[in-house]
Structure 1
């Protein structure tokens, strides 16, 4: 079903999030934030001391959405709702973000091998009336993954811009015998929570 009314900005560069929003017929425009050098990132994603993982992803998603709206207004763009999301892979309170190198990704996957971890994705929508946030929590079980398998997997490109160093929708699916929760949330944008937030913000999914 395609929206007949309403547009939003998506404060993300993620092709997976583009694909998922298109899947539910959302009319969106990418709104790019600064993420790295040479200029300072628009949102500092460093975890605060004693910050629990749910609070962390919620804070980062909120910050991205609110910064996206600020940047849209500074650029004199249309004042549209801004949607943003943040995903973290969590094992025993340790947060795994995107790997910085082959060695980093190899260490992440070795740690996750044979373990059940949690994937948290927070979604935030900011409008002129404020910001609302929802969090999706899923569990993913990895089978034991051998060192040779990990290195073979990392010889490709899909791991390096993904939290935890893997893509459930890609080759890494062969490592995963079980998932409980939201498949789209593990991909990076839980569609159930996203649809709820958009409806609350006046952007109907079905009309």
Structure 2
């Protein structure tokens, strides 16, 4: 497979591409993560991923660019990354005992091809105690994670009752679907 460019600094996305044995290099660019008001929740991460891909493509013409963005939503509202410990505790308290959606938008730009899709995973948390939430936030510091948690950490092992969909999507990238889309390009 031809080497691709990952338009992301996410250590989780890097790890997933390595696990899938996809040759890549990282080249991320700062991009505006605002989006038009008329987009559906499912279109938002695809739109942001496209902006990331286009920003990286400017300095890498002719290369295959992979970009992704992940949002967490509950009751049709986006939950972003926490700003501090208090915000992380509030976010996890809202998720506790409820089901939320993790939506990843993925864009692959290759020559004249543009592949864009989203993946949705439902995640249901058990009721978490305040002490469990505080422990997780203090120990794992989930400030760079949408929804204030990482499924592969302690909170996923003890707090998640079920998931419906792609586990790796919740980690940060629906890697099996990415592989299938890259294979369509005959790399």
Fold-level match, TM-score > 0.5?
Answer: yes
Of the candidates 44, 51, 58, which is equivalent to residue 70 of structure 1?
A: 58
- Consecutive unaligned residues of structure 2, counting only runs of 5 or more, are none
2-side partners of 1:80 and 1:180: how far apart?
Answer: 34
Aligned to 2:159: 175
CA shift in 2, pair 1:158/1:103, >3 Å: closer
CA shift in 2, pair 1:47/1:175, >3 Å: farther
- Consecutive unaligned residues of structure 1, counting only runs of 5 or more, are 35-42, 74-78
Measured against aligned partners, the alpha-carbon deviations of 1:32-79 in whole angstroms (never above 9, x if no partner) come to 212xxxxxxxx2212432432101011011111121111334xxxxx3
Of the candidates 107, 125, 132, which is equivalent to residue 142 of structure 1?
A: 125
Is the partner of 2:169 in helix, strand or coil?
Answer: helix
1-side partners of 2:166 and 2:141: how far apart?
Answer: 20
Give the CA deviation at 1:128. Answer: 2.1
The answer to whether structure 1 residue 46 and structure 2 residue 29 are counterparts is no
RMSD between aligned residues? 1.4
Segments ≥4 residues shifted beyond 4 Å: none
Of the candidates 1, 4, 7, which is equivalent to residue 3 of structure 2?
A: 7
Judge conservation of contact 2:4–2:23 (CA < 8 Å) in 1.
Answer: yes
2-side partners of 1:158 and 1:169: how far apart?
Answer: 14
Is the partner of 1:156 in helix, strand or coil?
Answer: helix
2-side partners of 1:123 and 1:113: how far apart?
Answer: 28
